[in-house]
């Protein structure tokens, strides 16, 4: 199943400059997702990180992976969006075994590959990796919590 930017925005509350997923190219509800982030020199973080040698911050690569996981988590088995961003929040609560293998620079296309390890109605754990040109550039185990706003 593929999801375009409109479907992504239906599943995530994030907007510019924090929306870090451009397209979903593959998703198996309950199992895995593959999404794309096109990295351009127009990203606001490149202004200060670093002006003469732009590098995407590792924490934002992890955030992109978490957003891909959220898209996956808020899609039912029929492919429909299930998140109401006015009443539900999705928080990144844990990052384990994070490794950054090479810099991500303008012009790279991040392939965000996330596989579910454990999913419940309140807590989800994933194996996640970011790939550029067939090479793993970052990987981590991430944990996210689903909470009703106001809890």
Q: Identify the residue whose tokens are 């040109």.
A: 133
Beta bridge partners of 132: 135
More confident residue, 30 or 96: 96
Asked whether the predicted pLDDT for residue 8 surpasses 70, the reply is yes
Kindly state the average pLDDT of the residues 93-108.
Answer: 98
Strands (E) across 29-78 are located at 32-38
From 143, 142, 62, 55, select the one nearest 104 (Cα to Cα): 55
> In the Cβ-directed half-sphere of 37, how many Cα atoms lie within 13 Å?
28
C-alpha–C-alpha distance, residues 106 and 43, integer Å:
9
Q: What is the pLDDT of residue 81?
A: 84
Helix (H) / strand (E) containing 128? strand 123-132
Task: Please state the pTM of the whole predicted model.
Answer: 0.95
Q: What is the pLDDT of residue 104?
A: 98
Instruction: Indicate if 49 belongs to the active site.
Output: yes
**Candidate list 49, 101, 125, 141, residue with the active-site label:** 49
Each residue's pLDDT tens digit, 53-96: 999 999 999 999 999 999 988 888 888 888 777 788 889 999 99
């Amino acid at each position: 199943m593929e999801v375009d930017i409109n479907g992504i925005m239906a599943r995530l509350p994030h907007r510019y400059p924090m929306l870090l997923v451009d397209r979903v190219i593959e998703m198996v509800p309950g199992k895995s997702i593959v999404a794309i982030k096109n990295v351009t020199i127009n990203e606001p973080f490149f202004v200060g990180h670093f002006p003469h040698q732009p590098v995407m911050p590792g924490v934002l690569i992890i955030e992109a992976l978490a957003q891909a996981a959220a898209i996956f988590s808020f899609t039912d088995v029929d492919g429909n969006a299930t998140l109401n961003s006015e009443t539900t929040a999705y928080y990144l609560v844990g990052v384990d075994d994070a490794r950054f293998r090479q810099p991500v620079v303008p012009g790279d296309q991040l392939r965000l590959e996330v596989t579910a390890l454990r999913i419940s109605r309140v807590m989800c754990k994933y194996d996640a990796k970011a790939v550029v040109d067939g090479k793993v550039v970052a990987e981590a185990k991430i944990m996210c919590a689903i909470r009703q706003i106001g809890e």
